[in-house]
Amino acid sequence: MATPQYTGFNTATQTAAQFDAGLRQHMLRVFNFMGLGLAVTGLVAMFIASTPALYQPIFGTPLKWVVMLAPLAFVFFFSFKIETMSASTAQAAFWAFCAVMGLSMASIFLVFTGTSIARTFFISATMFGATSLYGYTTQRDLSRFGSFLMMGLIGIVIASLVNIFLGSSVMQFAISILGVLIFTGLTAWDTQNIKEQYAENHGAESLTKLAVFGALSLYLNFVNIFQLLLNLTGQREE
């Protein structure tokens, strides 16, 4: 008696296994880009903060506004050019963005103690990691929360710009709390989006760009969570 051959079932199982392996590799690549980007940012920030000849001409003059707004220009560049730029250009722009972000964040080492910066970093990493893991593993569709989170993000940006002129500590406190909640939610949402955007037929070039842009989204979420928590709990230098 011939043994039945479940060719279709075996092929489907193999295809699913290959897809899962490819997805895990893609997600690992996204987090590797993000982690290396954070390392670049941290190293640049510490180097600038420890070199008075560099930070004094920047943060002691109106040039600080150029430095603070430069990362925003990179974000707009990515948003409008990601579809047309090559994978190598996307990577170069990402590393440049991380370096410029480090330049703009150097001031935190001048304002807050090293202990509070390290403590806040690990708290942020724990929050980010747990939320991103939820976004990756949950079967719940988080897309319905996307519009709400984006509206909240726009509100936070507008409120932050207004508070630059008002200088209200109460308003800054509220912005920081709401911001942490919004960017934590965005971390789960973005992680699920990155997972769903993956497909084997994208090709190496497209997958690299997807990985870079996904890393940028998660990087921005983490950095904002860190900065907002630092504003809430950070201990300032005497």
pLDDT tens profile 155-175: 888 888 787 777 777 888 888
Query: In whole angstroms, how far apart are CA 156 and each of 104, 134, 136?
Result: 19, 24, 26
Query: What are the φ/ψ torsions at residue 209 (nearest 5 degrees)?
Result: -65, -40
Residue 130 gets which letter from DSSP?
A: H
- Distances, alpha carbon 89 to alpha carbons 32, 78, 129, 205, 208, in Å: 18, 10, 28, 11, 11
Written as six digits, the tokens of 106 are 């150097």
- Counting as low any pLDDT under 70, the low residues of the chain are 1-14, 60-70, 199-201, 238
CA dihedral 166, 153, 121, 27 (to 10 degrees): -160
- In this structure, the dihedral spanned by the alpha carbons of residues 165, 151, 107 and 130, taken in order and rounded to 10 degrees, is 150
Q: Say what the pLDDT of residue 1 is.
A: 47
CA distance 223 to 34: 11
Q: What ranges do the domains of the chain cover?
A: 24-233
pLDDT tens digits, residue range 50-77? 888 777 777 766 666 666 666 777 777 7
The model's pTM: 0.85
Residue 10 has a pLDDT of: 52
Q: What residue type is assigned to position 149 of the chain?
A: L
pLDDT at residue 172, as a whole number: 82
- Residue 196 phi, psi dihedral angles, 5° rounding: -75, -25
